[in-house]
Amino acid sequence: MINSIEELKQIAEKRKDLNRNAHEELRVCIGSSCAALGSNDFLKDLSKQVKDAELDKKCRVKGVGCNGLCSEAIMVSHYHKVGDRESIYSKVESNQADKFVDTLNTQTPLQEKKCDISQPFFTKQKKIVLENAGIIDPNDIDDYIAHDGYLALYTCLEELTPHEVIEEIKISGLRGRGGGGYPTGLKWETVSKVESDQKYIVCNGDEGDPGAFMDRAVMEADPHKVIEGMAIAGYACGASKGYVYIRAEYPIAVEKINKAIKQATKKGILGTQIANSGFSFDLEVRLGGGAFVCGEATSLIASIEGNRGNPRQKPPHLSDYGLWKEPTVLNNVETFANIASIIRNGGEWFSKIGTPTSTGTKVFALSGHIKNTGLVEIPMGITLKELIYDIGGGPTGKKKLKAIQTGGPSGGCIPDSMLDIPVDYDSLKKIGSIMGSGGLIVMDEDSNMVEVARFFMDFCQSESCGKCVPCRVGTTELRDLLDKFIAKTATPSDFELLKDLCHVVKDSSLCGLGQTAPNPVLSTIKYFEKEYLEGICND
């Protein structure tokens, strides 16, 4: 049981001493992308061969989370403690363990697999949420503790009042990373002021946007960081119970979070009277059935309670009437993963990163027609051009970039002419898109933007819970109208109806799903109207 910061530091030093004895580490990615190509078998084979060659005292072999460059899986990192040097190898095959044993023996890099770590994909990122991804073993709590893990939580318990914790979060300017961008400190403060014998902390790991995999990767790579953020929120708000809501299609993330909860409970980091402080906090995992609408706050709460995931009207808000009718804080995975770093470094440190109204960093999942498909973390305020061309490597092949879709089904399509816009909440909103949870899809010149809008509308229509007429009927009618434009049988009146119906659905739907469903249509009409006009039959 860890009862103080000193005991926490002792465990950290003990693990660091163990690490120091091995002067090298071979870190094998066991995240979903690499695991799909056999990285777990590669890890077992590599561990065995290193041990058989009696190199295990010289070099530790361990599994780690995704370092971001998913398009180059399987990824392996060879870290040298002397000189703090690292070589990253990409597109490693699952039967190539022997080549890395040879590398250990000869100290000669595996040149044909070596990745250029001086490229902008690595140098232009700033990692806060992903600071441990690709470095620590997500299955090993002591490895997390050795990298300042749970130091923020114990600092809160020993040195800060709940009010002071909330003030640091407010000073940081952190806004919710789930899409809405609501100030996190203000949300916590509201719940902390509500008088109640029971409060809850809920983590939204549902992540239903097509092309989004940020939260999944964070939970797989650094589950304890999410847990630490939730525990700090519990202390700050006076909550003693938390739930991590994860979609069942994320089996590796579910496994990592469950294992991390058990490890933290065993060490007394979760449970009753943590560090003899009088603060108690327990965590449980709840699985979602894959309904996109359960990403909406009230639907998610209903799902945890065992009910159908239907939204309800607000107010009352979750701060007064949340899980089981009690005050509840709901943030997403990335939001909680920022908390420990803010407490360790101070809210002012975080506020100086990014822009004045969009502080810190943002994790994006790059997908579509882009060379460097994967996960990146960038400071708020860099331009879309830097994100797409420098970090992302630009479009695949020789095709020209046509549009970027941000914010998933709730977002908008941005034309290539607007790439100089900074990536922050306010700038994206001004041009008809949103930050969203961080999915970013790149489309080249061959993309048909009406078909893109139709794809997202079809998704929203199928994921609608059906509770309110504007969403249930409106999304169906919008999809059918878009079919006409694609078939080139639309009429001029259909075009006017399409625009009018978008605003009706947007203005009168019950929850965020319906209210934002027309966004891809509206943004493509705004920037790619010509493609709609080409779908009008003039006969």
CA distance 423 to 358: 9
For residue 272, count other CB atoms closer than 10 A to its CB.
11
Q: Looking at the structure, tell me whether residues 395 and 252 fall in a common domain.
A: no
- Sequence-distant (6+) residues with CB within 8 A of 282 are 240, 241, 242, 265, 270, 271
Query: How confident is the model at residue 83, as a pLDDT?
Result: 81
CA distance 457 to 478: 7
Q: Looking at the structure, tell me whether residues 99 and 222 fall in a common domain.
A: no
Which helix (H) or strand (E) element contains residue 165? helix 162-172
Q: Looking at the structure, tell me whether residues 436 and 456 fall in a common domain.
A: no
Q: Looking at the structure, tell me whether residues 215 and 320 fall in a common domain.
A: yes
Residue 13 falls inside a structural domain: no
CA distance 457 to 406: 15
CA distance 181 to 374: 23
Contact 199, 327 (CB under 8 A): yes
Q: Looking at the structure, tell me whether residues 273 and 159 fall in a common domain.
A: yes
Q: Looking at the structure, tell me whether residues 222 and 101 fall in a common domain.
A: no
- Give the CA angle between residues 408, 413, 415 to the nearest 5°: 150
CA distance 338 to 261: 18
CATH number of the domain to which 477 belongs = 1.20.1440.230
CA distance 286 to 387: 34
- Overall number of domains in the chain: 4
Residue 131 falls inside a structural domain: no
CA distance 30 to 22: 21
CA distance 459 to 469: 17
* Structural domain harbouring 29: 20-117
- Sequence-distant (6+) residues with CB within 8 A of 228 are 149, 150, 152, 153, 339, 340
Q: Looking at the structure, tell me whether residues 74 and 168 fall in a common domain.
A: no
CATH number of the domain to which 62 belongs = 3.40.30.10
CA distance 77 to 109: 11
Residue 126 falls inside a structural domain: no
Query: How confident is the model at residue 539, as a pLDDT?
Result: 65
Query: How confident is the model at residue 538, as a pLDDT?
Result: 75
Query: How confident is the model at residue 289, as a pLDDT?
Result: 86
Q: Which of 240, 245, 232 is nearest to 199 (CA)?
A: 240
Helix (H, G, I), strand (E, B) or coil at 89: strand
* 328, 351, 374 - which closes a domain: 351
If phi > 0 it is left, if psi is from -120 to 50 it is alpha, else beta; for residue 62 that is beta
Q: Looking at the structure, tell me whether residues 385 and 482 fall in a common domain.
A: no
CA distance 180 to 306: 25
Q: Looking at the structure, tell me whether residues 391 and 465 fall in a common domain.
A: no
Which tokens hold the place of 411? 């977002």
Q: Looking at the structure, tell me whether residues 223 and 334 fall in a common domain.
A: yes
Q: Residue 164's Cα: distance from chain center in Å?
A: 27
Which tokens hold the place of 328? 């509840």
Residue 128 falls inside a structural domain: no
- Predicted model pTM: 0.96
Q: Looking at the structure, tell me whether residues 346 and 396 fall in a common domain.
A: no
* 77, 100, 117 - which closes a domain: 117
Residue 79 falls inside a structural domain: yes
Query: How confident is the model at residue 468, as a pLDDT?
Result: 94
Q: Looking at the structure, tell me whether residues 98 and 157 fall in a common domain.
A: no
Torsion, Cα 438 447 433 407, to 10 degrees, reads: -20
Query: Average pLDDT for consecutive 10-residue bins of the chain (539 residues)?
Result: 93 79 91 96 97 92 94 94 89 95 89 92 96 96 96 97 98 92 97 97 93 94 98 98 96 97 98 95 95 94 95 93 97 97 98 97 96 96 96 93 93 95 93 89 96 96 94 97 97 96 96 94 96 89
- Sequence-distant (6+) residues with CB within 8 A of 307 are none
